[in-house]
Amino acid sequence: MLLNKIEDVRKQVAEWKKQGLKIGLVPTMGALHEGHLSLIKKAKANCDKVVVSVFVNPIQFGPSEDFDKYPRTLDADTKLCDTESVDIVFAPAPAEMYGEGQRLSNDTLTYVCPPFFYVNKLCGKSRVGHFDGVCTVVMKLFNIVQPDCAFFGQKDAQQVIIIKKMVKDLNVPIEITQCPIVRESSGLALSSRNKYLSEEGKKDALALSKVLNNIKACYQKGITDVSALKETAYSFLTDKHDLEYLEFVDKTTLEDKEKADRETLVLVACRVENVRLIDNIYIEEN
Ligand code: PAF
């Protein structure tokens, strides 16, 4: 069932809650691909009813980012959700979420601001205000749907860590589940932004997963010094790759690592054909 109004979602969810059903939420910005499908399947397996939100959230895009260009494929998304027997696709208009004619800024709206330490690094460093926008919309979706569980992809690892922190700090009674990255057989992590890449660009984009897999292989051979591990990346990068960051952090606290260990998450961001791509790997897990 496709719903656009907050009130309609609330009514339906209230019915389910009366019946004691367990509700799962998969927040998305649409342009659904296999990565999203893995979240939906996990939600279906763990919950009685599943709500997928499809909302390209204006307040998480910076002024020079791709908000207008971001792929919007609601018909295809709804069909895909139907094949997975999703119970509600919630696709509100921006005015439904933020009010008609409202100027969208933290002068006019109440925002959820995650701690500076968590946002002033990795993606947050170049995307100032991004995680304020993400946490604000996710908190709104949590309040609208009031799910028992919510499902996010590891591809946006910093996002999941920040959302878990928000849920803990604000005592939000929702269980957060992170699902593994889904990759093409080539190793390329699935992303709605892959649509912007040419065939050539897709080949160049493989450097991200190659860099990460090679770092993991070097670690398995006993190299733990982060500077040495970072050096190994350069053999995969050419002038087609505009590296934004390659960082080693604690997988829960996002603290920087000087020596890699079992708690280490390695994250990379790089522009290929001016498309910003991200990927990450747990250095000790499969
Ligand atoms: O990961 C995304 O697609 C978005 O950041 C999210 C969580 C749906 C919030 O808009």
User: From first to last of its 286 residues, what are the pLDDT tens digits of the chain?
Assistant: 999 999 999 999 999 999 999 999 999 999 999 999 999 999 999 999 999 999 999 999 999 888 999 999 999 999 999 999 999 999 999 999 999 867 777 778 999 999 999 999 999 999 999 999 999 999 999 999 999 999 999 999 999 999 999 999 999 999 999 999 999 999 999 998 898 999 999 999 999 999 999 999 999 999 999 999 999 999 999 999 999 999 999 999 999 999 999 999 999 999 999 999 999 999 998 6
Pocket lining: 178 vs ligand 1, CB cutoff 6 Å: no
pLDDT recorded at residue 285: 81
Pocket lining: 191 vs ligand 1, CB cutoff 6 Å: no
Pocket lining: 25 vs ligand 1, CB cutoff 6 Å: no
Residue 136: what are its φ and ψ, rounded to 5°?
Answer: -65, -45
11 backbone φψ class: left, alpha, beta (φ>0; ψ -120 to 50): alpha
C-alpha span between 270 and 241 (Å, rounded): 6
C-alpha span between 115 and 162 (Å, rounded): 9
pLDDT recorded at residue 286: 62
Cα-to-centroid distance, 204 and ligand 1 (Å): 26
Atom nearest to 29 CA in ligand 1: 3
Atom nearest to 55 CA in ligand 1: 10
Closest by Cα among 30, 11, 2, 43 to 148: 43
C-alpha span between 191 and 208 (Å, rounded): 13
Question: Whose C-alpha lies nearest to ligand 1, atom 6?
Answer: 28
pLDDT recorded at residue 105: 76
pLDDT recorded at residue 100: 81
Q: Is there a contact between 186 and 206 (Cβ–Cβ < 8 Å)?
A: yes
C-alpha span between 36 and 42 (Å, rounded): 10
Pocket lining: 132 vs ligand 1, CB cutoff 6 Å: no
Beta bridge partners of 54: 28
33 tagged catalytic: no
pLDDT recorded at residue 106: 75
Cα-to-centroid distance, 226 and ligand 1 (Å): 30
Closest by Cα among 4, 9, 91, 8 to 49: 9
Q: Is there a contact between 43 and 151 (Cβ–Cβ < 8 Å)?
A: yes
